[in-house]
């Protein structure tokens, strides 16, 4: 069983996500490694970008980015994106709370 095959549960935080990328990066095929490298350098973009935008930045087709999400333990891009949206939106109180 390869490192890729061992991943089952999605990371629960952006920090755990970054650690998983570091652990898996070398064992990934070329296109998935391109996804990992681009995403690792652009974690702040995951919450606000589309699959197509991130894939274009990584120089891979959107299907490769979707496969990367699954290898990371997510059901798809939306679930991965939710991890980052939740992490970043929880960092600052909303407007009503600040009043």
Model confidence band, residue 72 (pLDDT cutoffs 50, 70, 90): very high
Note the pLDDT tens digit of each residue in 23-67.
Answer: 999 999 999 999 999 999 999 999 999 999 999 999 999 999 999
Say what the pLDDT of residue 88 is.
81
Q: Domain locations in the chain?
A: 9-90
Residue 7's pLDDT is what? 59
* Structure-token pair, residue 30: 């070329």
* Rounded Cα–Cα distance for residues 18 and 40 (Å): 7
- Does the pLDDT of residue 69 top 70, yes or no? yes
How many Å separate Cα 42 from the centre of its chain?
9
Does the domain at 9-90 match CATH 1.10.10.10? Answer given as yes
- pTM assigned to the model: 0.81
The two structure tokens encoding residue 70: 């699954």
* pLDDT confidence of residue 89: 78
């Amino acid at each position: 069983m390869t490192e890729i095959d061992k991943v089952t549960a999605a990371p629960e935080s952006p920090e755990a996500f970054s650690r998983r990328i570091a652990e898996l990066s070398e064992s990934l095929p070329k296109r998935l490694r391109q996804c990992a490298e681009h995403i690792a350098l652009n974690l702040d973009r995951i919450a606000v970008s589309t699959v197509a935008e991130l894939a274009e930045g990584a120089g891979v087709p959107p299907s490769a980015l979707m496969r990367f999400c699954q290898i990371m333990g997510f059901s798809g891009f939306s679930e991965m994106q939710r991890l980052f949206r939740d992490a970043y939106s929880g960092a600052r109180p909303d407007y009503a709370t600040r009043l």
